[in-house]
Structure formats: structure tokens, C-alpha cells
Structure 1
Amino acid sequence: MSELNQLFRDRIGYADQNALTFERLPEALALMAVAIPFENLCIMDGSITAVTEQYLVTKVLLNREGGLCYEINSLLYLFLLDNGLDVVMTRGVVFDAEKNAYNTHGRTHISILLRHEGQTYLIDSGFGGNLPLQPVPLTGETVVSANGEFRIRRAEHALGDYVFEVKLKHKDEDWRTGYTFDSERAITGLVDSNEIQRIVVEHPDSRFNKAPLITRLTPAGSVTLTSTSLTVWTDGVMSKEEIEGEQYAELLNRYFGRGIGPEPINNQPERSITL
């Protein structure tokens, strides 16, 4: 087993030492959603490094940080590839619900396409809290997990040929558009991940170069921290508090195990989401 393969399993708490199979993917994706946060803290700190395999191993697996889609899904792609699964990556354009329009700064979302027994599935562990936690077929079939309902609709769109749609548990009453992607544009290396990083870091319309954001799923819901607020969802109930000053550093440590302070809560047993 490669170093990346073993470190990835250690990072998410996946104890099985056999090659990861398609059938076991939901378990691994659920563990990953709890263990690895979606975050832009390196961008806000000005710590920008080229996206390579070694960079991803060091940042996410050894330093136990999280990342954005071009880091999380790129690392997952390498892990799935190392386990013998038939995967490529693809780029998509995220839909901005507030503006009711697709982002204008390009194909900045990267996700994974997996082929299994003649069928193609979308895998995405890098879309904030909008994670399906299992493969989503490109057939239009609805997939249900602990995080909600997810489906992929065929589309004739200038931005791509499929649309990823989301209906989060406790949060969405109706389906909403996540992003459009192009299934015909296969990516097998990390060059696009670096291009996406450049856009996310530099573009004035990027939402991830403005203020710190870190979020992850929990077995009971989710937790999201910004420089001004903490939002926790627990069994469908949301609590939100405004924060200031030193509270940010203390909460970053408590909920995400970052910084210096008391033992972080996510070091305690908290490793499964019921599917």
C-alpha cells in the first residue's frame, strides 16, 4: 500500500486495509466529510503553494488541515486511483443562488467522475456542506444520504452537459442548482487544480479570497466558522452566534483542532455518519 493510501485511511479513520471498493465508497466518503474540513484559511493567510501530490499529502494528511475543492477532490482522486478505481476529474461552474446566476469567473469547481460496471457516477467531497456522501449516477436517479437528496440532470448548457442538484436535509424544501459540469472534459493530472487555485486566489469575484471560512459535517449535522460567526446544526436545529476577537481562535481549535489550546473536540470519538 502506498504512503498516500495509508495516510489517507489514517486521516479519515478508515480501518479496512483492503483495496477500497465501489461498494465501500459511501463509508469512506462519510468519514472524510467529518474528518477533512472545507476551508480557505491558507488563502487568507497568504500561504499559497503549487498543488502537487506531495503538497496535498503534507497539507491535508500530515498537517491535518482541510482545503477547497481543488485540494480535497484532487487528493480524493489520487486516493481512488491508487485503489484501482476508474476515475477522472472534471471542472464545473458553480451556481450563485443569491445572484440567481452562474459564477462569471470560470470553471472553478473540480469534482470526480467514476466509471463502474458501465455507468458513470459523480463523486464530490469538496463542495462545502453540500456533500452527497456517496456516488451520484448521471442517470437522473435521486440518491439519499444522511446529508439530504442529490441528483444529476442532463442539460444542454453552454457551460456543461450535466447539472448537479441538491436538497439538503433540514435546510432545503426544494431542489436547487449546485453547479454545471462537462462530462466530456476529462482531467487526469493536477494542472487544472493549479489553474483553479490561481483564479480562486486572484479573481475579484471569488468568494474565497475575502474572509476566512471553515466548515465540516458532523454526525449530527454541521459546524461552520467565520471570523464573525459560529453556526452549528444539530439534528435539524440551527444555532448561530456572533463572535469577535479571541473567540475565533478558541472556536477554531475547539471545533477543528487547529491552534494551541485545550484538547479539540474532534479528537474525541466522532467518526461515523449513518447513511
Structure 2
Amino acid sequence: MQKLTPLFHNRIGMPKNETITFEKLAEVLEKTAQNIPFENLTIIQNKTRKITKENLFNKIVERNEGGLCYELNPLFYFYLIENGFNAFLTDGVVYNHAAEEYHQLGRTHVTVLMKHEGQTYLIDTGFGGNLPLKPVPLSGETVSSYNGEFRIKKVNHEIGDYCLEMKLRHKDSDWKIGYSFNSKKSIEDTADLNEIQTIITEHPKSSFNKHPLITRLTNNGNITLTDTTFIQWADGILTKETIEHMKFKELAKQHFGL
């Protein structure tokens, strides 16, 4: 397999041979969020493939598709490792705000933790429109980006020992829970990722196996497309358009390259 970095950089619009330092990661995360969509089309089309480095490379880098957390974050993990960072994958449980409880699907969110100069950071490229766009330290310090404010809170329950909290710009007035994760548990085997994919694909309570969903960040907000609506957030202003099936294909190609 070819080296991931130059082709990944080409995919997100960065110079192919640019050296990536810790300080450069915020730019990489921002460009990743704006160019690689969070989407579930392979599930809806019944075209899922086994999660391997090669298959993720083929899907996201070569075919210019997007993916869900268990695809986007593992690919970014491979990118970090290739660039000399000390990273590992872990899983967590997303908080369901409508039900005011953690999702019953279990540990189906995959994210990245990275150690740098004695500090551990959370890095996430696969949480829909809720992306920090910067490494978030587990020390509790608040990180700000154009997408909002983010912090990690120490917790003590069976789901994990930390949770990501966020206050999205133009959307949240108070802090809200994103997900909890276990900083001491790493995913060592892609078999675990395939198990998560199976749950997301087949479980009746999964929110990703019923209707198509595509979303990505823009430079001043985000856009989200489903089979019935096209939603745009731009500088805090919400625009919502009801669409028909044929319009979905047109918008998916126009705004997401899919």
C-alpha cells in the first residue's frame, strides 16, 4: 500500500509533503472536517466492507468518500502513527440528549487519544458536526475553535473515566455531554471495529441504518443532507430546505462530492 500521508494531504487540500508537527494538527483537523464528510451511505446501500487499513484507505482517500466514527478516526489514527505521533484508539458511549441518558447501543463511538510531551489529548474527526478541530487535553483545559468550546471532564462511572463536553458556537448556551470514554482501554484489534460496524449497521436502535445522512463542516458553519432535508448553518443563521429523492443525489454530489 502507498504511503497514506501525501494522498491524505491531497484529499484535504494540504501540500503533499508538508511536515506535520503537533502545532500543525489544528490546521489538519480543520481541513479534514471541511473535506471529508461524516456519512452512512455504504450502510444504507448495503455496501459495507470489512474495516482494515487498506479498505479505509481505498474508501476515504482513493474513492473520496467519507464514513462514520469507526472509519474516520481509525484512518486518522493511521495518519498520526505514520507521522510519528504516539496515538491509540479507544471507544466510548455517546450521550443521547433527547432521552437524557447514554445510548443503549453501548461502546460504539471510536475516537483517538494521543500522548505528547507528558500530556494526553483527545482527537476526533468522526463526531458529525461536533468536532473540536483541535487536540483537547485530558487536563480539563477548555479548547476553542470556530466550531465552539470543548473540554474533557474527569468522571467515575462504568462507561469510562472521562467525558467530552462541548458548547457549540451559535447552538449551545450551556455545556453538554458529547460522550464518555475509557482512557485506559485501547482498541488493539480491527476485529473490535468490525464488531462496532455490525452493531451500527444491524441494530434496530441504531440511528445510522434507516436514512441517509451526510454532514461536514464549512468555513463558517456546517451543512447536513438527509433524504428529506438540506440544512445549512452559516454564521449562526439556519436555512432548511425540504427536498425530493432526486434532489438528494444532486446535492450529495454538489456539496459533498458523493
- 2:195 is equivalent to residue 195 of structure 1: yes
Partner residue in 1 for 2:153: 153
Alignment of 1:240-259 (within 5 A): 240-258=240-258
Conservation of the 8 A alpha-carbon contact between 1:80 and 1:87: yes
Q: CA deviation at 1:221?
A: 0.8
Partner residue in 1 for 2:7: 7
Partner residue in 1 for 2:65: 65
240-249 or 87-96, larger mean C-alpha shift: 240-249
Kindly tell me: are residues 188 and 82 of structure 1, through their superposed partners in 2, closer, same or farther at Cα, counting changes over 3 Å?
farther
> What is the rounded CA distance, in whole Å, between the counterparts of 1:242 and 1:188 in structure 2?
43
Task: Please report the TM-score for the alignment, with normalisation by the length of structure 2.
Answer: 0.98
Q: CA deviation at 1:16?
A: 5.7
Conservation of the 8 A alpha-carbon contact between 1:74 and 1:190: no
> What is the rounded CA distance, in whole Å, between the counterparts of 2:190 and 2:77 in structure 1?
10
Conservation of the 8 A alpha-carbon contact between 2:113 and 2:122: yes
> What is the rounded CA distance, in whole Å, between the counterparts of 2:8 and 2:195 in structure 1?
24
> What is the rounded CA distance, in whole Å, between the counterparts of 2:150 and 2:224 in structure 1?
21
Alignment of 1:126-145 (within 5 A): 126-145=126-145
Q: CA deviation at 1:18?
A: 3.9
Conservation of the 8 A alpha-carbon contact between 2:5 and 2:16: no
136-145 or 245-254, larger mean C-alpha shift: 245-254
- 2:173 is equivalent to residue 184 of structure 1: no
Runs of 5+ unmatched residues, structure 1: 259-275
> What is the rounded CA distance, in whole Å, between the counterparts of 1:125 and 1:181 in structure 2?
15
Task: Please report the TM-score for the alignment, with normalisation by the length of structure 1.
Answer: 0.92
The AA in structure 2 aligned to 1:30 is E
The AA in structure 1 aligned to 2:20 is L
Secondary structure of the residue aligned to 2:208 is helix
10-19 or 52-61, larger mean C-alpha shift: 10-19
- 2:10 is equivalent to residue 33 of structure 1: no
Alignment of 1:40-189 (within 5 A): 40-189=40-189
The AA in structure 1 aligned to 2:72 is I
Q: Percent identity?
A: 51
Q: CA deviation at 1:19?
A: 3.4
243-252 or 66-75, larger mean C-alpha shift: 243-252
Q: CA deviation at 1:105?
A: 1.3
Secondary structure of the residue aligned to 1:172 is coil
> What is the rounded CA distance, in whole Å, between the counterparts of 1:135 and 1:151 in structure 2?
10
> What is the rounded CA distance, in whole Å, between the counterparts of 1:25 and 1:215 in structure 2?
21
Partner residue in 2 for 1:226: 226
Partner residue in 2 for 1:262: none
Conservation of the 8 A alpha-carbon contact between 1:81 and 1:87: yes
Conservation of the 8 A alpha-carbon contact between 2:70 and 2:110: yes
> What is the rounded CA distance, in whole Å, between the counterparts of 2:135 and 2:189 in structure 1?
21
